[in-house]
Structure 1
Amino acid sequence: MQLVKAVIYGFGKWVDEEIDFSAASPLVIYGENESGKSTIQQFLLFMLFGLPPKKREFYRPKKSGKMGGRLYVELPGTGVVAIERLDEARNGAAVCYGPGGEQYPEEWLEERLHGMTASTYQSIYSFSALDLNGLPNMKENDLGEVILGIGLTGSQNLYAVERKLDQQIGELFKPYGKKPAINERLALMDGLAGDLRRFKETEDAYQGKIEEARQMEQQIERIKTEVEQLRDQQSLMEKQQQALPLVKKYRTYTDKLKGFPPSIAFPEKGRERLEQLKEKLLPLKSEQALLEANVENYQSRVDELEKKLEEESFYEQAEEVLQQKGSYMDAVKEQERITSAARKKEIQLESEIQQLNAGLTMGELSSLELPFHVEKNWNRIKTDADQLYMEENRLQQEYQELKQQRNYLLNQAWEAEDGMLAELEYQELQEKLSGYKEMDLLRQVQEGSERKREEWKKQKAHQEKISNLLLTVSFTIAAFLAVLAVLLDQPALFWGIPVLLVLAVGQKLYWKSHRTSIERFLTEEDGQQGTQILSQEEKREAEQAISNHEKKSSELAVVKEQLKTVDIQFIKLDEKRRGIDEKRRRLDTLIAEQHDAYPFLEQVEITYWPEFYHYIKRAAGLFSEYRQLLQEKEEIDKAVQEHERSVMDFFQESNIKLSTWNPVTAFQQLEEILEQLNRTVGEIKQYEHLIAENRQSVHDTIRKAGVYQQEIEELWKAADVETEEAYYRKARQSEEKLAIETEIKRLEDQLDSIFPDGTWKGIIEQTPKENELENSQRKRQETLKELEEKLDLSRQQLADAKAAISTMESSEDYSHTLHQFSVEKEKLRALAHQWAVLKTAREMLEKTKRAYRDKYLSQVMEKASRYFTILTDNSYLQVYPPSGDLPFQAEAQDGVRYRANELSQGTINQLYISLRLAIADIMSEKHSLPFIIDDAFVHFDAVRTRRILEILNRQEQQVIIFTCREEVRDQASFTIRIHG
């Protein structure tokens, strides 16, 4: 993604502003402090990712009612897209406008950003001077981890999250702790469990009362079940008394239904259907009679017209002749067109032959043959000639340039030899300079020895004090152990005394030996002395002379190598000359062959042969077209004469007189005759069409009537009758049976509503008597009363048992302890769950970070090392990631590795920027987003600033730098200056 342009309607202090980002990267936006650079960054984030309502309110402009704007970005594969956000529209949601004006919602933009959020974008693709300032304050053990966490996870809060998780886990549980919440809860539950065990001793008597109460509850449930069963039976008897009248009526209708046949063959709604068919059949019969009368009238008129038409015997022959009129008129027009085209083509052909100016005639052009390969041959000859001319010129030019180059190199060689030293003089200067370096090295060694002796004096005094203290402490402890062994009568303590004494004396002897070896080494260094053999001025002169000699010697060697190369190129030019001469001989042979085959080519230069081919090819084509037109004219003349002869023969045979002979007049007269005949024929066709329509209508009417008659017969067949009267008798019988069945169905529905389970069917078969139902009801009521009295007694006994249990439970200690134990158990379970969640989260975070780091670490460190080497001008060659307790390390040119906190502030900043650039490169493989830097070069001098700008200039992704430093502005290629 590339930012193209930002149009700010209103955002913070910016109102109706436009910023162009299309310049080459890196783009520097320069402005003084408080000029609005940070507001522009927030506007870009708002356009890409949006802002919550409170933050949008903070950036609402004071001098405008509109808050929002447009950001034009270029997306790969899509083109330039405009992203618009307005605070007062769509609650700040984005609307995207494509290159063709198409409109997309904010979800489309989120897909193009691949799930990137504002916080992730700021962590990976944006950083400022504040990020650099926090690095020196971090501990040595945490520096590498924090920087790696910031980069590889895309969140500066990862370090704090890990520490917070560790703190929360420690506050919940420690294996040997007492203050963590889970440890305190476990101790409290141990005390509650002891109290519950004491209360268990009084539980036996209590359990007996519990068992008695349980048995009483079971007896009450059995009585309740019997009561419910009796009430169900009583309800059934009441329903039978209610349904008794319906049962009697049902049996009456079923007896009547038995008097009818099991099934009556009669169609559904048969009476209504028959009446409707009879009403539809009557108008069809009337229509049929009227159509048959019309057919007879039309046929008589057709007979009269056909009798009249038979008197004109030449009708068909006249039509055939008249049909030739169109062909004749077309042939005449074509004759005129071809004659005109042939004349124009003849004039054009004569003009083309004159333009060729090659001595060709129309006769020669007619016999000219140009095979398909001629054009290729002429093009090849022309190309070879042009190429040969250019090669000859180029060869001559190369020869002159090579000659000048050789003369120049010879002059360079003479100048280099004049500036060189004699061999003997050069060796003497080398020996003097080598001696000076040896003496300077000895002087540096002596200065280092002096510093070592001073440091050794301080270290020796300190070490002497520690050694004496250890010896005193060891003897004191040994004496204490001896006294303690005697007082406590513990002989085993005597074994520690020799060990302490051996260790104390051993460290004292070791220190003495170590001190002696170091003093001997320092004494040996003091013996090394030397004398200077050159002064500083002589050394500089010797170095300058040797440097000039070596420079001239190197220049002379280069010039000699170049002279060898020039000589080789002279040999190659001679070989090229021989090759060009051979090409010239072959070309002359090809040109002579073409002159023999086409003599007119001698008057045309070779350069114009390809164009001349097309001209002569076109002339030959024109001649072929002209000859084709002459043939077509001859054929069309024959066709015109044939048509005129056919018309003349018809008029002579038919004895029709013509005032003057003209084919056009003859056709007109023939059209008038045929027009009268055609009117008669048209009238006959019209009547025949009416006859056909009426006959079809009669047929359709008969067919429709037959359909209705067939449906009537189908109704009779369905009713199994042969007459209409028998059909109506069967209709009445069917209607009576249907009424009885309907009434029976209604009674069944009523009985189903009373007895949903269908038990009424058994009552129909054996209908109970009314007095028997009343007696059964009375007996069940007496039994139900007895059971209810027994139920009340059982409930009283259960209440007494529960009262006894309540008395035993009058002490609240057990229940209170049991309740507290349950509450504490739930709290412990919740804390354990919370601890497990935090522990799992910590392990998942560590595993995820480790997997992510392993995946990208090598790529990031490779790119970071390359950037760091460039920024430090090869002072550091390699960056190593944290390992164990070691933080980031940088390897210097001499192979020494330095920890991050051992570097200067500027070098730490260079390391941090190298890491951020490397991470952004890796992330850009998936998210190609602009890289924003906000005054991150505050600790850089002019040289470091130039280097970082050179690196950013080579970045593939777009880079935007916000700065208030003039040196950054002056060194940048493209700068936008803003004024607050």
Structure 2
Amino acid sequence: MRIIELHIYGYGKLEDYVIKSLDQMQIFYGENEAGKSTIMSFIHSILFGFSAKQSAENRYEPKNTPKYGGKIKALFPDRGMAVIERVKGKATGDVTVSLEDGTIGGEELLKDLLKRMDKSIYQAIFSFNIHGLQNIQAMKGDELGRYLFSAGTLGTDKLFNTEGLLLKEMELRFKPSGKRPLLNEKLKDLKDIQTSLKNAEQQNEKYSELVSMKDELMDKIAQLKNEIFMLEQTGIKLREYKRNEKLVIEAAALDGKIKMHDPSFFPEDGLNRLEKLDEQLKSNQARILRVKEKREQLLKDLERHKPNSDLLGMETEIEARIENLPLYDQLKQEKRLLESKLEEITEEIDQLNDKLHTDFNEVNIHEINTSIFIKEQAENIEQTEQRLKTKKLELESAFEEEKKTLAELEARAEAAKEELLDEAERTKLVKDLDLLGNKERIHSELNYVMDQIESAKIKEETEKDRRRQQQKKDFNQLLLLGSILLIVFLWGITNGSWFLAGIGIAGLFLLLTARFKFADKKPMEDKVLSRLLEREKALKANLSSQPEGNAIFIKSLLAKDEETRLRHRELYIKIDQQHDRFEKVVQQFESWEADETQLKQRRTELLRQFGLTDTSAPIKVMDAYHLIEKQKQYFRERKRIKESLKTVAESLMEMESSLKQLAQRFLQNSDLAPVEAAGLLKRTLREAIDQKSRYRELSAKLEEMEEELSSLQKEEMVFSQEKEGLLAQAGAEGEDGFRQKAENSSLVKRWKARLEDIDHQLLASGISDEDREKILTGIPLEEQIEDNDSELVERKRELSAKFDLIADVKHKMKVLEEGGIYSELLHKYKQLQHEFTEDAKEWARYAVARDLLSKTIDRYKNERMPRMLARAESFLSILTDGGYVKIIPQVSGSGFLIERNDHVLFEANELSQATAEQVYVSIRLALAADHYDRYPFPIIIDDSFVNFDHNRTARIIKLLKEMSNNNQILIFTCHRHLLDYFTENEIINLQEKSANIV
């Protein structure tokens, strides 16, 4: 399958998007969000259906258009061109498939074209991306080998994940050396209970004996029940025998009569058949007499109409000569035409010799070599002449153009030089610009300092307000505290408590001291504000001493001069480049002259091989070749005409001779003209043919009559034999005996009918032939019924005794079981054993699944993997430049060993990261190539080689180009450096295409 064209109606952000003429190798390049993933998903969706709404995959439904879907035009090797269109409809979309032979179908036809391939298998085998390489980077140890093996089996990590999942589920349930898994715990519990149960069982031997006795009684009861059932069935059967005894006796009597009166076979409806055969024999004999009379008359007529066999024997030759008579005139006309054409072609040969100024004849013309190689040389010379003429015109035009361009560049360079400023003037402007720049810096700094001063003043006012409020607050607090201390002092004085009075006076003293100290302290002058004012004064003084001027104007002049200088340097560089191009044109002129000289030598040599010289009339090489080839054809044509003329003359002579001989033989006249002789021979032959036709008719009638006579005689013989056979079947010597046996046969039929009725009745009652024998020849039925009833009563009495005995045993077991120890342990043991069995079955299912997976892996390794690995080894050798040469499956389980070119083996986890990625890519490509015979589908690759260096990238691109001879390969990438490996026709730039569509 090869995809030819994509037409996206609406898919994601792509609307009415068309990509035509996809090659075997096609690169889709675009930056992020350019639509690469959208196009890949579109291809998968059109071929296999849109993703379900609840699926994890994106459906890419468009936001700005109701159209959803598109179509793919693809070439299928066995069905031709097909157009696959899928639009919005049911869950996966409505699909229409149109083939070039007019066939139109739906989903079923598409599945046939895709050979029942589904989306997941296609993506696993033919579509892979960088995620596979990322998985390799995240894996360690044995996981990497198993992952590579899974990729080579299914194309994905499903096999690897499945194997890990099964092993995990098994280990959750059981580990040989584990303790925590479920089965390990239950097995330990089961062993503990079994030990306890054995101990209880040793203490309860009597209970075991009762169990054994109970089992024996149960077996005996089952046996007695079965015997009672059999005796009851026997009694029923014997009573049925008794009821049908009379019919059995009657049937035996009728059977005896039939055997006595019908010892031999008598044919069915024998009497009527005998009478019918007698009538047929009489009619047949009368017909035989009539046919014999007619035969005698026909023999006489045949003798009268016997034809001339000699003339008829020459019928074919005479008719051929007569039919060739028009050819005789045609050959005479053809002879005249050939003679005329021979003269014309001889004249053409002479004219061509005059044109070529040569004297070619049938001998020397064939010595001239006009093979396909000479023709190629002539065409090459003529094409080279035309190419050199064209090249000369191009070189002359290029010479003038380069010369003109050089003059224009020199003129522009001079003009730019005149626009440049003098060095002294430029130096002065630079110096002034520096001074003006300093003035601007001072002015800017002054503005900054003034802003800082203003900010400091505002801050100072704010601080003063805060300080006044704080002083007022402190005064109120001191006043309150002082009042409290004064009250303490007065209280101490009044009550004679000198300690409290001392505390009060000391506290008042300290408060007054602190108050006066803070009141006397004045705020310090703001040092920051002073420094800012001094800096402002200095900057104003410096600013007044700076020169006046326009810095913007000076900057524009210097910038314009710098731009002019840059343009002047660029023009001188272009002039140097133009001088180089001019010199190249001159060198090309010299090369052209050398090619012209070499071409003249080749032309002279080729004309010499044609037998011509340059001094001949001027003629082109190809014209000379065509004229010589034409001359050869003329000579061949003249030779053919001569041979044809000779053949025609011989044919005319042969026709005249044969007609004379036939006229002499059958007309006795050899002097007749060919036309007259042919007419007389024709009339004579027609008369002989008519006579022969009449003779044949009479012969045919005679044969028919002989056949009729033979048939009648055979019928007579058959009727006689049938009559004799009928008598023989009945065993009768004559017709009278036969008739007597017919009467006996009728009587036997009636007896057989009655016997058949009895048989039906006995069969409905279930009486077989064996039962009939027992009824007729055995013990009387009354005695058999009496004996059976007696035995049945005995068995029932014995069964009742066994029931009484087992009831007693069960009662004793119940008494023992009420102790509880053994019964509880036994119940718990059985329950735990049942649970263990169920859990073991669950573990066994996973074990069987893992075993089947292992066997499937082994089968794949032995049957399919060798072919795939051979191809993967070839790919790996190319990708690693011969560094690694073999991929060897592990002897057991999954995984690979990789062999280096020095025969050293490595496990997958021992390889470098880049080499492991190369192994993965080799296996994936080999897997796709291995499935190409059955599924010739495109390979889709999404940025899977971005981690490769330039050498490895070049090798993988080379390998993919070789594979594109079979598979179509579509590569999606956002890395521009990969485009260097492909031609322009192989690259589709999605950004440019989107811009064109917009």
TM-score, normalisation: structure 2: 0.53
Aligned residue for 1:117, secondary structure, equals helix
Residue of 129, 134, 138 corresponding to 1:126? 129
Query: What is the deviation of 1:795?
Result: 1.8
- Cα 1:335/1:739, change in 2 over 3 Å: closer
Give distance in 1, aligned partners of 2:674 and 2:165: 115
Cα contact 1:859–1:922 (8 A) shared by 2: no
Q: Does structure 1 residue 800 correspond to structure 2 residue 801?
A: no
Question: What SS is found at the alignment partner of 1:761?
Answer: helix
2:4 alignment counterpart: 4
State yes or no: 1:205 paired with 2:206. yes
Q: Structure 2: how far apart are the matches of 1:144 and 1:168?
A: 21
Residues 1:933 and 2:954 are matched in the alignment: no
Tell me the CA shift for residue 732 of structure 1.
1.3
Partner of 1:349: 342
1:730 paired residue number: 741
Query: Residues 760 and 670 (structure 1 numbering): CA distance in 2 closer, same or farther, change over 3 Å?
Result: closer
Matches within 5 A, 1:802-881: 802-828=810-836
Q: In structure 1, what is the Cα distance between the partners aligned to 2:10 and 2:30?
A: 21
**Aligned pair in 2 of structure 1 residues 789, 52: CA closer, same or farther (>3 Å)?**
farther
Is this contact kept in 2: 1:237–1:777, CA < 8 A? yes
In structure 2, relative to structure 1, the CA distance for the partners of 1:161 and 1:863 (3 Å cut) is farther
**Deviation digits for residues 453-511 of structure 1, max 9, x if unmatched?**
xxxxxxxxxxxxxxxxxxxxxxxxxxxxxxxxxxxxxxxxxxxxxxxxxxxxxxxxxxx
Secondary structure of 2:818's aligned partner? coil
**Closer, same or farther: CA 46–166 of 1 in aligned 2, 3 Å:** same
Trace 1:448-459 onto structure 2 (pairs within 5 A). none
Task: Measure the CA separation in 1 of the matches of 2:857 and 2:241.
Answer: 78
Counterparts of 2:26 and 2:316, CA distance in 1: 86
Aligned partners of 1:13 and 1:61 also within 8 Å: yes
Per the alignment, do residues 855 and 258 of structure 1 end up closer, same or farther by CA in structure 2, a change over 3 Å counting? closer
3-state secondary structure, aligned to 2:5: strand
Question: What is aligned with 1:598?
Answer: none
Residues 1:955 and 2:960 are matched in the alignment: yes
The 3-state SS of whatever aligns with 1:22 is coil
User: In the aligned structure 2, how far is the partner of 1:673 from the partner of 1:293?
Assistant: 36
Indicate if the aligned counterparts of 1:150 and 1:156 stay in contact, CA closer than 8 A. Answer: yes
Aligned to 1:117: 121
8 Å Cα contact 2:659/2:678 also seen in 1: no
Counterparts in 2 of 1:713 and 1:369: CA distance versus 1, 3 Å: farther
After superposing the two structures, state which structure 1 stretch, 703-712 or 956-965, moved more. Answer: 956-965
Amino acid at match of 2:930: K
Letter in 1 for 2:339: E
Matches within 5 A, 1:538-577: none
Find the counterpart in structure 1 of residue 40 from structure 2: 41
Which residue in 1 is equivalent to 2:768?
756
1:199-238 → structure 2 map (5 Å cutoff)? 199-214=200-215, 216-217=217-218, 220=221, 224=225, 227=228, 231=232, 234-235=235-236, 237-238=238-239
Q: Any unmatched runs of 5+ in structure 1?
A: 361-367, 395-572, 592-604, 653-660, 869-877, 890-899, 901-909
Query: CA 1:796 to 1:193, structure 2 compared with 1: closer, same or farther past 3 Å?
Result: closer
Equivalent residue for 2:719, pick from 681, 690, 708? 708
Give the whole-Å Cα distance in 2 for the aligned partners of 1:191 and 1:382: 99
SS at match of 2:768: coil
Q: CA-to-partner distance for each residue in 1:72-111, whole Å, 9 max, x for gaps?
A: 5567899766666678689779998888778996676666
Residues 218 and 113 of structure 1: CA distance in aligned 2, closer, same or farther (over 3 Å): closer
Match of 1:433 in 2: none
CA shift for structure 1 position 731: 1.6
- The answer to whether the 8 Å contact 2:224/2:799 transfers is yes
Distance 2:259 2:850 in 1: 88
Cα shift at 1:270 = 1.7
* Mapping 1:35-184, distance limit 5 Å: 36-47=35-46, 53-54=52-53, 55=55, 58=59, 70-72=71-73, 117-118=121-122, 120-121=124-125, 125-127=128-130, 154-155=155-156, 171-172=172-173, 179-184=180-185
Range moving further from structure 2, 926-935 or 291-300: 291-300
Per the alignment, in what secondary structure is the counterpart of residue 125 of structure 1? strand
Deviation at 1:735, TM superposition (A): 3.3
TM-score when normalising by structure 1: 0.54
Letter of the 1:800 partner, please give it. D
What is the alpha-carbon distance in structure 2 between the residues aligned to residue 735 and residue 238 of structure 1?
Answer: 37
Q: Distance in 2 between matches of 1:181 and 1:359?
A: 107
Larger CA deviation: 851-860 vs 285-294: 851-860
Letter in 1 for 2:243: Q
CA positional deviation for 1:713 = 2.9
C-alpha deviations, 1:909-948, integer Å up to 9, x for none?
x9998676556555554367534325996x99xxx89996
Q: Does the aligned pair in 1 maintain the 2:167–2:850 contact within 8 Å?
A: yes
The question of whether the paired residues in 2 share the 8 Å contact of 1:334 and 1:636 is answered with no
In 1, the alpha carbon distance for the partners of 2:139 and 2:309 equals: 120
Give the 3 Å change call, closer, same or farther, for CA 677–5 of structure 1 in structure 2.
Answer: closer
User: Conserved in 2, the CA contact under 8 Å of 1:120 and 1:155?
Assistant: yes
Letter matched to residue 6 of structure 2:
A
- Distance across 1 between alignment mates of 2:235 and 2:372: 127
In 1: Cα distance, 2:679 partner to 2:166 partner: 112
Q: Kindly state the Cα deviation for residue 711 of structure 1 after the two structures are TM-superposed.
A: 1.7
Is the Cα–Cα contact under 8 Å of residues 663 and 677 in structure 2 kept in the other structure?
no
Separation in structure 2 between the aligned mates of residue 174 and residue 688 of structure 1, nearest angstrom: 103
Deviations 1:628-648 (A, max 9, x none): 655665666666777888999
Cα gap change, 1:4 to 1:709, in 2 (>3 Å): same
Question: After superposition, what is the alpha-carbon deviation per residue over 1:141-189, rounded to whole angstroms, capped at 9, x for unaligned?
Answer: 8998899789778546788778767766665567887544345435534
Superposed displacement of residue 728, structure 1: 0.9
Q: CA 1:355–1:810 in 2, change beyond 3 Å: closer, same or farther? A: same
Written as runs of structure 1 = structure 2, the 5 A alignment for 1:351-750 is 351-357=344-350, 615=634, 618-619=637-638, 622-623=641-642, 625-626=644-645, 693=704, 697-740=708-751, 743=754, 747=758
Displacement, 1:721?
3.8
In the comparison of the two structures, how many residue pairs are matched?
A: 710
Secondary structure of 1:349 counterpart? helix
Alpha-carbon separation, structure 1, partners of 2:279 and 2:293:
24
What letter is aligned with 1:22?
L
Q: What is the distance in 2 between the residues matched to 1:885 and 1:344?
A: 87
User: Is the CA contact (8 Å cut-off) linking 1:86 and 1:92 kept in structure 2?
Assistant: yes
Q: Residues 199, 732 of structure 1: CA spacing in aligned structure 2 closer, same or farther, 3 A cutoff? A: same
Partners of 1:836 and 1:767 in 2: CA distance:
62
Q: Is the 8 A contact 2:50 2:91 kept in 1?
A: no
Q: Partners in 2 of 1:265 and 1:165 — Cα distance? A: 78
1:333–1:642: structure 2 CA closer, same or farther, 3 Å change rule? farther
Q: Shift in Å at residue 370 of structure 1?
A: 7.6
The secondary structure found in structure 2 opposite 1:758 is helix
When the two chains are superposed, the root-mean-square deviation of aligned CA atoms in Å is 6.8
Letter in 2 for 1:714: G
Structure-2 separation of matches of 1:672 and 1:918:
89
Aligned CA distance change for structure 1 residues 766 and 668 (closer, same or farther; 3 Å): same
Deviation at 1:701, TM superposition (A): 3.6
Q: Deviations over 1:823-876 (max 9, x none)?
A: 3345445656766887899998899799999979987876666699xxxxxxxx
Deviation at 1:2, TM superposition (A): 5.2
